[in-house]
Amino acid sequence: QVRLVESGGGLVQPGGSLRLSCAASGIRFSIYPMGWYRQTPGKQREWVAVITAGGSTSYADSVKGRFTISRDNAENTLGLQMNSLKPEDTAVYYCNVQVDLVQFWGQGTQVTVSS
């Protein structure tokens, strides 16, 4: 059974930093690309970043240069370091994996950027 559990969200001032984590279980973590998405009320879920099994990364233009996605295959965890946060980064952040054409999501963690 695939399980993804996000943590690390919270309230931060503009310009601040947060680090999100996603603990994965039930999969052979090291062989799958892993992604981060985010969603605000009334909007579609938005792709943020992805990291391949080999460690290559890609980012949405809105976060490029500010966010860094990482993975620890020994610990089965996915990370997202978020720097220079802006109010528009406020959202619920989800980690994601696709296994055999099925999308799996965690419960999400709320990030609020506000003064």
Is 12 in contact with 111 (CB distance < 8 Å)?
yes
**Average pLDDT score, the chain:** 97
DSSP bridge partners of 114: none
Measured distance between the N- and C-terminal CA atoms of the chain, rounded to whole angstroms? 40
Task: Write the pLDDT tens digit of every residue in 81-115.
Answer: 999 999 999 999 999 999 999 999 999 999 999 99
pLDDT digits (tens, 9 = 90+) for 54-67: 999 999 999 999 99
Specify the pLDDT at position 61.
Answer: 98
DSSP assigned state of 17: -
Helix (H) or strand (E) holding 103: strand 102-105
Tokens (6 digits) for 81: 């370091």
Q: H-helix or E-strand containing 22?
A: strand 18-25
Using pLDDT thresholds of 50, 70 and 90, give the confidence band for residue 70.
Answer: very high
